[in-house]
Structure 1
Amino acid sequence: MEPRHRRADAAGNRARIIQAARAVIANADEIKLNAIAKEAGVGQGTLYRHFPTREDLLAEVYREDVEELVAAAPALLAEHQPVTALARWFDRVADYAQVKRGVFAAVEAAVWQDLAAHSLGPIGDALTTLLEAGKADGTIRSDVDARDVILLIGCLTRVEEDEWDAKARHLLRIVLDGLRRRP
């Protein structure tokens, strides 16, 4: 029973570290591992056992965010009409992109390439699911695909931090309006 308890504790520590890292990335100008450990309620040794380097931790935050974003597409389609599902998915993209900016700024180029390769496929697949549902019900233009939208939402990388709250979701609403099929 004791080993299971430790594994559950270890899993809990790992989850708290990732959650704390996500909060620090979103709210701090500088990403400090000691601040993440403190926020997670663990010692630095525990943090380093789970994530030997800062890049390992940031990469895991990014990977989890990608997984959540991808999983959201079919869940949103199950609850909403395609255009509404796409709009709500774009809201999540804005949150994801804000964290991604912090992660990419902190991660070395080689790690960045690995992360980009990990996310573009699954995100493109999730976006295709949303677009195809909208095309099927006649609310989304038939001449757009996931790559078109990914290129358009790439504009988020150019939004300055001090204008993020005012511009990110606004730009995504403009993209959404451009995707709508016109009579």
Structure 2
Amino acid sequence: MRSDALSNRLRILEAAAEVLAGPGDTSLKSIARRAGVGQGTLYRHFPSRECLVLQVYGEEVEELVTAVPGLLTTLSPQHGLCAWLRRLLYVGRCAPEFAEAMRGAGGVLTEPCREAYRPLLDALSALVDANAAAGTIAAGTTAEDVLTLLGPLWRISADGGDQDRDRETRLFEVLMRGLCPGAGPADQ
């Protein structure tokens, strides 16, 4: 990558991190303006908002990805999947922009977006595949299926207090009982 292109990319990521962390306008136009680049430059580096957001939250994505081997070695496949999905929900609760980006991961993705989601999809696929091999999840279930099912949980407001958190926990347990019977909180 040319040095000016790399500089633009880094400025975009820095501006996006600042804009997404604060209140107000978090549009791509606002991010481009703060980075001092045109929208065309922003889209050349990040073809969608989701691609940009996943890069901004790269450290969290990396932690989720690198946790999988340890989960598969220390927990049963169903409990590993449950623990990983709980962590994913937590990241989304702390970073609503990340949750918004993840809602699209279960849908039809363009190739550039698929590449942005690839590390998370591969990590989740390893957990789903381990459950399929153990017979603890329905055959044919994909990482995309699981993310689609998880999507509504991110819509529960993180600012709503204990009642919303209780509801999120309850619905997550329902989801896990449906995906992997026996992976409920009593088994953790």
Superposition TM-score, scaled by structure 1 size: 0.54
Find the residue that maps to 1:162 and give its secondary structure.
coil
**Residues 151 and 44 of structure 1, relative CA distance in 2, 3 Å threshold:** closer
How far apart are residue 130 of structure 1 and its match? 0.9
The letter of the residue matching 2:20 is I
**Residues 103 and 26 of structure 1, relative CA distance in 2, 3 Å threshold:** farther
Structure (1/2) with the larger helix percentage: 1
Equivalents in 2 of 1:127, 1:26: separation in Å?
A: 26
**Residues 130 and 102 of structure 1, relative CA distance in 2, 3 Å threshold:** closer
Find the residue that maps to 1:51 and give its secondary structure.
helix
- Is 1:155 paired with 2:146? no
How far apart are residue 129 of structure 1 and its match? 2.1
Gaps spanning 5+ residues in structure 1: where? 105-111
Q: Please list, as runs of the form range in 1=range in 2, the aligned pairs for 1:160-179 lying within 5 A after superposition.
A: 160=157, 162-163=159-160, 166=165, 170=169, 171-179=171-179
8 Å contact from structure 2 (residues 128, 141) kept in 1: yes
Residues 66-114 of structure 1 deviation map (CA, whole Å, 9 limit, x = unaligned): 988887676333112334542343222553583256569xxxxxxx975
- Is 1:30 paired with 2:29? no
**Over aligned residues, Cα RMSD in angstroms?**
5.0
Find the residue that maps to 2:36 and give its secondary structure.
helix
How far apart are residue 133 of structure 1 and its match? 0.9
Superposition TM-score, scaled by structure 2 size: 0.53
8 Å contact from structure 1 (residues 37, 44) kept in 2: yes
The letter of the residue matching 1:159 is I
Q: Please list, as runs of the form range in 1=range in 2, the aligned pairs for 1:1-183 lying within 5 A after superposition.
A: 7=3, 11=6, 14-31=9-26, 36=31, 44-46=35-37, 50-51=41-42, 58-62=49-53, 64=55, 75-80=66-71, 81=75, 82-90=77-85, 91-96=87-92, 98-100=96-98, 118-119=113-114, 122=118, 126-137=123-134, 140-142=136-138, 145-146=141-142, 148-156=145-153, 158-160=155-157, 162-163=159-160, 166=165, 170=169, 171-182=171-182
Equivalents in 2 of 1:60, 1:182: separation in Å?
A: 35
How far apart are residue 153 of structure 1 and its match? 1.0
